[in-house]
Chain A
Amino acid sequence: MKRMTLTAACLAAAFGIAGCKIVKTAPADDKSPSADASGDDARIATILSDTYDAKLLPEIAAKALPPIDLKAKLAAGLDTAGGQRGAGDGAAWNFAVAGQGKVVAANLTSRARTLDVDVDGDAKSDLTVQLGPVVKGSALRDFAPALYDFTSFRDQIEFAKLGRALNDRAAGAIKLAEGDPTGKMVTFMGVIALRKATDAWLLTPTVVEVAP
């Protein structure tokens, strides 16, 4: 039920009522999933279907910067680079990135498959694109705290399930052609989480397309 409130709040935001706050309300009918862990999967599935395509992807697309631009902003300071912090002052900053680059290395044998991508033409890797099925971090969730507000979740476990579900959804949409992509061009969009401005870039992608 609180998800419906969240949806309503987001719809309201979409219609131009700025600064609205998500407020928890008691369930109004018997159909809402159980508040304990047994209802988590049903609730998370609802959140995902309500938000992933309709809100999260457009938000990432709207805020995504080319890697070169983000690099320049980060050089001036992590706090001022326009990132979105997850829940609280101890959380990482999250940045949406979109661009193109050349695959300089591919690890397709691990369960955590990755592509190393060069975006500035120096033949060195600038970012690592995660392909799953093991996806590290919770960048997609933490990029949109207004959409996914920790306080409105029962506990870390429910909140973690959302992070995992978002990662699975993103990784599940990745289609790679057979063969070694090394040397090919790749178009990508997604979110990186940084704790320090100098951290290596690990992208949780919402788009990965390797040119044939």
Chain B
Amino acid sequence: MNFKRRLLLSTFALAMAGALPSLANAADTIAIITPSHDNPFFKAEADGAAAKAKELGYETMVLVHDDDANKQSELFDSAIAAGVKAIILDNAGADASVAAVQKAKDAGIPSFLIDREITASGVAVSQIVSNNYQGAQLGAEEFVKLMGEKGDFAELLGKESDTNAGIRSKGYHDVIDQYPDMKMLAQQTANWSQTEAYTVMESMLQANPSIKGVISGNDTMAMGAYAALEAAGRTDVIVVGFDGSNDVRDSIAKGGIKATVLQPAFAQAQLAVTQADAFLKTGKTGVEEKQLMDCVLVNGDNAAKLETFALKD
């Protein structure tokens, strides 16, 4: 429904552009395709990209693929049919998305990827991703410190098709596993989902009541896990997340979740649009395809400065 309405709006915008040739440039459209905005991270991304696109004089076509690669493929067809000039994409799977991005490229539409990578280079023009490994190490170092370098813990993993799930887990373990007194008793995916994390945490806690900490692949799962711990009267368990959402910021302020790692989602989306604009105007972005943006640890010391995936200086 939402999608159809937006498509209609965009079609309308394109029609307007056709009717007013002198304004044709102003009505060039950029498609912004992300996972569901239920997760505020993706909403911030879409908002950041849309704001920058408007600032640079583009119309936007904002779509969500709900982490479904088939739906993503259909959205690409729609965007291509609508004649968008560029696509900003947070994709629905590292392997599965290569074909969709290639399809756009074959139609002469450049794609600029944010947040998640695809497993091929030379297909998208830019792939700007958070330095998840660096960020995960920051989160793990804080987690280990909070745990006093020892104790039982559990890990919540993200969606397996997303490279970010694997890289964060690797970043966590490259740090934590070097502390012989840290013992992982359970490790399970909750597919980035808050409700799933609640259920998974409940069963993990039942099976492993000795856990002192939970390290989570993202903030929505951390929120779900903390809610389950709270319901079980286990607010002593140290929870660390990843993303830097306002929800976790508020939880940190109340002494709930202990830390998260900020990904500069808003800035990243804006950078992608800036590169798309440069590419459309000059045929190049002036930078390498694959780019990493560093993450920042957020804990009680700086949480108050966090707002919509950006830290105020």
Residues of chain A at the chain B interface (Cβ within 8 Å): 24, 86-92, 110-112, 133-134, 136-138, 149-157, 159-161, 163-164, 195
Contact = CB atoms under 8 A, between A and B. Distances in A.
Given A90-B128, A155-B163, A159-B133, 20 more contacts: A87-B291, A88-B288, A90-B268, A90-B291, A90-B293, A92-B294, A110-B149, A111-B179, A134-B179, A136-B137, A138-B133, A149-B288, A150-B288, A151-B121, A151-B289, A156-B131, A156-B133, A156-B163, A156-B164, A160-B170
Interface size class of B (residues with CB under 8 A): 35 or more
A161 B132 CA distance: 13
B119 A154 contact: yes
B290 interface: yes
Nearest to A161: B170
Given A110-B149, A134-B175, A155-B117, A86 B167 contact: no
Interface string B165-185: 011001100110011000000
Contacts, number: 90
A87 B137 contact: no
Q: 6 smallest A-B Cβ distances: which pairs?
A: A88-B291, A90-B293, A160-B133, A151-B290, A87-B292, A150-B290
Contacts of B175: 134
Contact of B178 (A92, A134, A156): A134
A195 B133 contact: no
Interface in B141-193: 141, 149, 163-164, 166-167, 170-171, 174-175, 178-179
Contacts of B129: 156
B122 interface: yes
Contact of B170 (A24, A149, A150, A157): A157
A195 to B, nearest CB: 6
A29 B241 CA distance: 44
Query: Which of A137, A138, A150, A161 has most B Cβ within 10 Å?
Result: A150
A157 B163 contact: yes
Interface in B80-134: 94, 117, 119, 121-122, 128-129, 131-134
B195 to A, nearest CB: 28
B287 interface: yes
Given A91-B293, A160-B171, A155 B288 contact: no
Interface in B283-310: 287-294
